[in-house]
Structure 1
Amino acid sequence: MSAPKLQQDLDCKIARLEQDLIVLKRRRNALSPISQLPSELLRKIFYLSLHFLQADRNSRTKILPEDTRLSISHVDHHWRTAVLESPELWSEIHVRNTTKVEYLAIARNNSKMQPLYVDGYDINLTGAGGVRHILQTEPHRIKSVTLHAPIEVMRSLLPDLKVSCEAIEFLELNGSAVQAHVDLTQHDTFFNFPKLRHLRVTFWDTLLIPSSFHPPSLVRLEIYFHRSSANHITRSTFAALRTVASTLEILGLRFQSSASSQDILNSIGRLPIHMPRLDMASFLSNSPGILPELLSLFHVPPSFRSVSLIAQGSAANANEFQAITSALQRSYASIYSPNVLIVRQGPPPITPSSDAIEVLIKHRAGVTLKHCISAFLIPSRGRQPIFSSDDDHALPISFPSSKGWLFGTLRDVNVEADLPVAFWRAFAYIPTLSTIKYRVTRPDDGFHRALEEIVVGEGPLEGDEEVFPSLTAVCPTFRGTSIEWDEDYARGLAVLLGRAWARSGVSSPPLALLEFRGCSSNRLDDGTVRSFRSVVRGVAVWNDQRWDFRETSQ
């Protein structure tokens, strides 16, 4: 036999053995635990792996979901088959500046006829070419488009978006917060999307939404102005908003600009906007006067769930919040009465700030949360804190009163901020207040000092009014590294509460619960326990130590 013939036979035998080896490896891999998973579960794991890529704390710019998808498909034959037979894993097409058209063709083909979700994040004009390729080749399959790019890049894609406008249901257009100079006297004209359900436009301050914009199924609308948009842009936006108001369930508006509040208010208009289906709303402004006006402008239904207000910079001041609470009372007093108040310090949901304050006013029916209004006050750096323990400091929210809408029906109060003494003292005369939870950071905190003034009859609210007539639970939590004074504080608190009630003619201990958490030790002396017994007819708790004063013994 000649050498070439022998070599050819050996090559054939090697090929057969290599093929047998591949088959054996596949059989061996099939015995591994992960290969025993049902294909549906394996595909679900792959799907989730593409949605939680930020677990390693990488920025979104550095995340390349298409690389992860290709890596999964190259692990072994079983995984590759699962990936290629799962069109839903390819229907979300992530375009970056480095994405090649060849990959986009693979994703389109493997997605079969699934609706496509296109995401272009932090793209320049090169990345816009990839997005344009998808929009032009698959205009009838595009269900969702998300673009994060400078205005000039998104502007170049407007004609291509228009080609796909008949199919798009979700659209997010996010301009960069740091932009090159943009001529705000110019504008980019938007157009209608007949099937659009969600629209979010952020930092595209030259995008003019015409009054003809009227998607009949639009349920979510978020528009965030970053710069001082031209008046005709704001005016046109609110004209379009009035057109779609009847279908909206979620609304978000942000005015983070240097324009005067009067210019913005003139552009918004004064005609009320009725929103019969609105469930959630969020408003942000750094210009005084905007938030109260928005609250008065939008008429929400009794079924609304939450409203979030964020006053930032110059809008985060006492006068602005007084105007906000007045607007809330005018607009919401006929809808619900708050029975829960929460006051706590930041950080807020957007800009971290240790001086930020959040005020929540809620209505609960049993364990069910019916309505919630939250207000964030975020002062500029270097400004005086919004709350201060000094009595002469301007209060950022309305003064507690049993006659006002905000406080008149309060049942629970949870305070994690340093409220002024006068504020605490006023709580004593809310007739419905039953539970107080608060944070203690120093022995002479506002609540303790307020009780001292009530006992001696000081302050503007002195008289024969009953003190804390419905209070049944007091729950302080100590915060700090050096709180050796906590037992003295607890004993003094019990004594002051007893004297305050004695001054009101209360003969029997009214508290069902006196609970201290965050204490420095777990043991109390007998004198402190006796002071608890004088005001508690139920349970006293010190960290994990518990006394039931409904019984005759400890």
Structure 2
Amino acid sequence: MDPDYIKTQRALDARIVQFQSELTDLKRRRNALSPISRLPPEILCKILLLIRQEDLFSKEKKIVPQYILLCHVSHFWRTIMLGNPEFWVDIHLAWSASWRASRMLSFMAHHSGAQKISVVYRRDRPQDHEHGPDIPIDLDLVRILQQESSKIKSLSLVLGNFDRNRDGGLEAEVANIFSEGEFSNLEDFLFLITPKVLELPPTLKLDKVFKNRPPKLQRFEVAGWRLCLESSRQLLQGMTHLSLRGDLVGSLFELLSLSPGLKTLFLTGLRLFHPLNFSYPQNAPGQVCLSHLESLTIYLCLHSLLDVLKGIQIPPNLAHLHVHLDLAFPNRIRELFDAWKQAQKGVIKPEHVCIGKPGNRSFISRVIFAWKTTESPGQFKPDRIKRSPPSVTLTLRLGSPMNDNMHPFVEPQDYQHKWSFGKVRVVEILGPLEEDEESARLKIYRLGDHFWTTIANAPYLQLLYLNSCFEDEFKEMIITLGQGVFPALQYLIFSFVRCETKLRRISFDEFAASFTEYFKLNRATPLALLGFRHCPEQPSQATLNALKEVAVCVVCRETQEWP
């Protein structure tokens, strides 16, 4: 090769390196001059900590380490990170590199200073190994957990792909952690395993795990185990938060009576098939009173769910209630509300109700969400991603699609003593999924005359968001009731589903004309907004003019976008 060519090439390479260096320097100068970089470190830390808290409560997002966020906004991120202990308090470790896990725990605990720390340790046996290797908890990790035990506020041990033949000594491994550690500030303890589907869960005896109960322990969560109450009674006294996902050896009501100050109770997957599980302790006959309860989640088989509701007393104004009723027929729905009436005093009067359908074609199902308060209906956006947690969630699996008369609000006596639409301002009624064409064709999404009559007469209902598959029921109700329906309604939004609209034999213009005809006759004042979401076709100008006779503002959108 020509020497001059080589010399020129090397000179160009050197210039490229020089330009890259100058570019890096310019970027650093630019970052140093940016408004964010001029913020005091303590303000910048508060901003990033808020982002972290949002991620921790988001199921869709993966938690992003703070140093990754910080290195994008400040050239001095290393100095800021090392100088702020708040960034080092959430420690997530994995067995895949246990020696690194122990070093990471030691490093982060050191930089957390006097802050209390939360430690999550995950250990998964590879799924492609039927029995897998023995995976003991690393002794160096155990030693550092013991050394830092006085700083640990929350400890989670998550062990997937549990094999009882290989992991029979797991209790002893965990007991080794607590054998020497102080854990004087431990408030939360989560112990989760994932046993094989067809295997009985292993028995957990807490007196073998804890040498002494941590004095501040208030929150206990166990999953995948068969919890033995007899050997765990003393350690479970006085809990404020209790989550059980597995089996229980002993009486559930005796367990609950040990913690009269419970604020959170989460029961799911419990196979409480033994009669003794629902016997009452001698010192607490009758219903167990949970007067401080704020959040209750029950996800059990039908008989167990009813037994639990019949055996507890809960305060009238829970902040959160989630009940799952599995495969019920109309008479069993009434049993649910009767048991609910016995357990909880007071009537739920939500301002915002959403009725949806889980994606299961084999059964009629409903999910009912209720919020005690709601945003201004004028600011409402359908299908918005972020919502505050509902105060009530009812998941009702009702029966076969052949029984198209089944729905949660069949008759008023089913629910009126626990549920009132007297304060409701927003109602969302959702229908089939896009791919659920068969259900749309069978028209199995009826809600019943009494439900429609109830919401039509709701005195404060301002916004109704309606799936188009309920159009016939909506139309029949307005024609039947006549003048005076929806006295406060200002916003009406139809959402079209493609699998349903393509079964129609009329165009959108014809649909809109019929809507205008029956709605105009029964409304004294026009709506503030009439919306058609996922509009199947572009309406004609004549149709828009006709719709504007019943609404001040008419919006027809073909896409998912919404104003």
> Where on the TM-score scale, by shorter chain, does this alignment land: which range?
0.5 to 0.7
Instruction: Pick one of 183, 186, 189 that aligns with 1:171.
Output: 189
- In 1, the alpha carbon distance for the partners of 2:389 and 2:204 equals 44
Q: Structure 1, residues 14-49: CA drift from partner, whole Å, max 9, x if none?
A: xxxxxxx9xxx8997795647655333555577678
One-letter amino acid matched to 1:384:
S
Sequence identity percentage: 16
Cα gap change, 1:354/1:117 in structure 2, threshold over 3 Å: closer, same or farther? farther
- Whether the aligned pair in 2 keeps the contact of 1:346 and 1:358 (CA below 8 Å) is yes
- In 2, the alpha carbon distance for the partners of 1:540 and 1:58 equals 38
- In 1, the alpha carbon distance for the partners of 2:497 and 2:449 equals 21
The equivalent residue for 2:369 is 360
Structure of larger gyration radius: 1
Cα gap change, 1:420/1:264 in structure 2, threshold over 3 Å: closer, same or farther? farther
Cα gap change, 1:166/1:334 in structure 2, threshold over 3 Å: closer, same or farther? same
The equivalent residue for 1:296 is 310
One-letter amino acid matched to 2:316:
P
The equivalent residue for 1:441 is 468
1:521 aligns with 2:542: no
Shift of 1:223: 1.7
1:278 aligns with 2:311: no
The equivalent residue for 2:82 is 84
- In 1, the alpha carbon distance for the partners of 2:486 and 2:411 equals 19
Cα gap change, 1:447/1:282 in structure 2, threshold over 3 Å: closer, same or farther? same
Cα gap change, 1:197/1:360 in structure 2, threshold over 3 Å: closer, same or farther? same
The equivalent residue for 1:372 is 391
- In 2, the alpha carbon distance for the partners of 1:404 and 1:114 equals 50
- Whether the aligned pair in 1 keeps the contact of 2:146 and 2:177 (CA below 8 Å) is yes
Cα gap change, 1:331/1:144 in structure 2, threshold over 3 Å: closer, same or farther? closer
1:132 aligns with 2:157: no
The equivalent residue for 1:428 is 453
- Whether the aligned pair in 1 keeps the contact of 2:328 and 2:397 (CA below 8 Å) is yes
Matches within 5 A, 1:254-273: 254-257=268-271, 260=273, 264-266=277-279, 271-273=286-288
1:244 aligns with 2:259: yes
CA RMSD across the alignment: 5.1
Cα gap change, 1:170/1:231 in structure 2, threshold over 3 Å: closer, same or farther? closer
- In 2, the alpha carbon distance for the partners of 1:352 and 1:256 equals 26
Shift of 1:121: 1.6
Shift of 1:54: 10
The equivalent residue for 1:5 is none
- In 1, the alpha carbon distance for the partners of 2:60 and 2:406 equals 43
- Whether the aligned pair in 2 keeps the contact of 1:471 and 1:510 (CA below 8 Å) is no
One-letter amino acid matched to 2:148:
E
- Whether the aligned pair in 1 keeps the contact of 2:240 and 2:263 (CA below 8 Å) is yes
- In 2, the alpha carbon distance for the partners of 1:371 and 1:106 equals 40
Q: Structure 1, residues 346-403: CA drift from partner, whole Å, max 9, x if none?
A: 36xxx99997521135555997999932201358xxx7359x7x4xx33344424699
Three-state SS of the structure 1 residue aligned to 2:321 is strand
The number of residue pairs the alignment matches comes to 474
Instruction: Pick one of 145, 159, 163 that aligns with 2:155.
Output: 145
Q: Structure 1, residues 295-328: CA drift from partner, whole Å, max 9, x if none?
A: 333322234222111234xx45544433222223
Instruction: Pick one of 473, 491, 497 that aligns with 2:513.
Output: 491
Shift of 1:123: 5.1
Cα gap change, 1:492/1:80 in structure 2, threshold over 3 Å: closer, same or farther? closer
The equivalent residue for 1:394 is 406
- In 2, the alpha carbon distance for the partners of 1:27 and 1:403 equals 64
Cα gap change, 1:76/1:514 in structure 2, threshold over 3 Å: closer, same or farther? closer
- In 1, the alpha carbon distance for the partners of 2:470 and 2:310 equals 42
Three-state SS of the structure 1 residue aligned to 2:494 is strand
Shift of 1:243: 1.9
Q: Structure 1, residues 454-477: CA drift from partner, whole Å, max 9, x if none?
A: 48xxxxxxxxxx876564427241
Cα gap change, 1:35/1:172 in structure 2, threshold over 3 Å: closer, same or farther? same
- In 1, the alpha carbon distance for the partners of 2:48 and 2:546 equals 58
Cα gap change, 1:419/1:405 in structure 2, threshold over 3 Å: closer, same or farther? farther
Matches within 5 A, 1:48-63: none
One-letter amino acid matched to 1:375:
L
- In 2, the alpha carbon distance for the partners of 1:275 and 1:54 equals 29
Cα gap change, 1:408/1:220 in structure 2, threshold over 3 Å: closer, same or farther? closer
TM-score by length of 1: 0.67
- In 2, the alpha carbon distance for the partners of 1:467 and 1:44 equals 56
Three-state SS of the structure 2 residue aligned to 1:121 is strand
Shift of 1:173: 1.6
TM-score by length of 2: 0.66
Three-state SS of the structure 1 residue aligned to 2:530 is strand
Three-state SS of the structure 1 residue aligned to 2:226 is coil
Q: Structure 1, residues 392-430: CA drift from partner, whole Å, max 9, x if none?
A: x33344424699335665454432237765713653267
The equivalent residue for 1:328 is 340
- In 1, the alpha carbon distance for the partners of 2:266 and 2:82 equals 39
The equivalent residue for 1:118 is 119
Q: Structure 1, residues 53-98: CA drift from partner, whole Å, max 9, x if none?
A: 999x9997xx996xx869989x999443333333333343332221
One-letter amino acid matched to 1:372:
S
